[in-house]
Amino acid sequence: MRARASLLARSAFAVYALLVVYASLYPFSGWRDQGLPAFAYLVAPPSPYVTAFDVVANVLGYVPFGFLCVLAVHPRLQRHWALAAAAASGALLSTCLEAAQSFLPARVASNLDVLCNVGGALAGAVLSTRLAPWLLDAGPLRRLRARAFLPGAAADLGLVLVALWLFTQLNPAMLLFGAGDLRDLLATPGGAPHAPELFVSVEAFTAAANLVAAALLLSAIVTPGSRVRAMVLVLVLVALAVKAAAFAILMRAEHVFVWLTPGAMQGLGIGVLAALVAVALPRPVRLALAAMLLMAATVLVNLAPPNPYVAATLTVWRQGHFLNFNGLTRLVSSIWPFAALGYLTWLASRRGALG
C-alpha cells in the first residue's frame, strides 16, 4: 500500500491545536494591557513560583501536538524534516500563546513554558517518527482502519467525533454521557433542586440517549459486515474506563465511582441494550434516530436539576492546576452534540458521503 497523506491525522492535529489554544487562554476574561511588550517575557528571568507540576504539565501538553504534527505532514515530510516541522510549529504556537497570556492578569507568561512546550512537541515528534510507518503506511493500524471503517474523509471526521466523545468523559462535573450542557458557557444557573427520584429519571434518559446516539454514529462509519455490536461494546467500555480514570486523577480515590449513580446505572443498562438493537436498523433510520436522541438529550441535560449524588463531592473539589484542563473538557462536552448533529445531518443529505 503506497504511503499517502492521512486526512484523519491532519484533522486530529488541527483539532488538538485548537484545544491547546483554548486551554492556554482559558477563561478568556480580564484582558488588559499591563504596560509591557507582548514578548518581553522571552528575556525575563525565570519565575520563582514555577512548580514541578507546571513543568511536567507543559511538557506533556505538547507531546500529542508533536506526535500528531509528524503524522499530519507524513509522507511529505519525514525523519529530520518532520521533527523540525513539529518543533518549529510547537515553538511558534507556544510563543504566540504566551505573548497573549501577557494580557491576562490571571496568567503568567514564561520563557520556561515555551522551552517545556517545545521539548514536549519534540518528544512527541521523535516517538511519532518511529511509529509513523506502522501507523500510516502499510502498517497494521492502517490495515485495521481500512478493514473496520469506510474509506474517505467523511469516515475520518466521524472517527474524530468518536474520539472527542471519549474526551468529554474526562469532565467530572458532567452527567454520565451527558454532553451538551450550555449553562456554564452561557452563565445560566441550574434548575431548582428536586427530589432525587426526578434526577434519577433525567440522568437515566440522558445517559441512555447519548450512548445510543454515539453508537449509531459509530455504526454509520463502519464497513458492511463488521462486528458493529462488538465495536459498540468496546466503545462503551473505553468511555467508562476514561470516566473512572478522570475521577481517579482529578478527585480523591474514594470518589472514583461516585459518577456511577442509580440514574447512570439505569441509563447505562438501557442504553447498551437499546444500542445493540438499534445498530441493526436501516442506515437512514439510524441517522434520524441518532439526531433525535441527541436533540432530546441536549434539551433535557440543560433543564436537569442539580445532581444530588455528585453535588457534595464537587463542593470539596479544588480544580487548582486542572482549571484550564477542566475548562477545555467543559467546552468540548458542551459543543459535541451540536457538532455530531451537524455531521449526522450532512451524512443524511449526501447519500454518497460514506461508501
What is the mean pLDDT of each successive set of 10 residues along the chain, which is 355 residues long? 67 88 77 77 77 82 91 84 92 91 80 91 90 68 78 86 90 78 62 61 89 95 89 94 80 69 90 95 93 91 66 49 65 89 89 55
Cell numbers for 322: 486542572
Q: Amino acid letter at 312? A: A
- In degrees, to the nearest 5, what angle opens at C-alpha 147 toward C-alphas 143 and 151? 95
354 in a domain, yes or no?
no
Same domain, 117 and 212: no
287 in a domain, yes or no?
yes
Same domain, 241 and 330: yes
pLDDT score for 190:
52
Same domain, 104 and 245: no
Same domain, 123 and 178: no
Same domain, 134 and 240: no
Same domain, 68 and 172: no
Residues 6+ apart with CB under 8 A from 82: 69, 70, 73, 74, 125, 128, 129, 132
Same domain, 135 and 220: no
Same domain, 71 and 159: no
Residue at which a domain ends, from 146, 178, 206? 146
Residue at which a domain ends, from 117, 146, 175? 146
Structural domain boundaries, residue 87: 7-146
pLDDT score for 274:
95
Number of domains observed in the structure of the chain = 2
113 in a domain, yes or no?
yes
Same domain, 189 and 295: yes
pLDDT score for 309:
52
Same domain, 50 and 95: yes
pLDDT score for 42:
81
pLDDT score for 244:
85
42 in a domain, yes or no?
yes
Same domain, 246 and 105: no
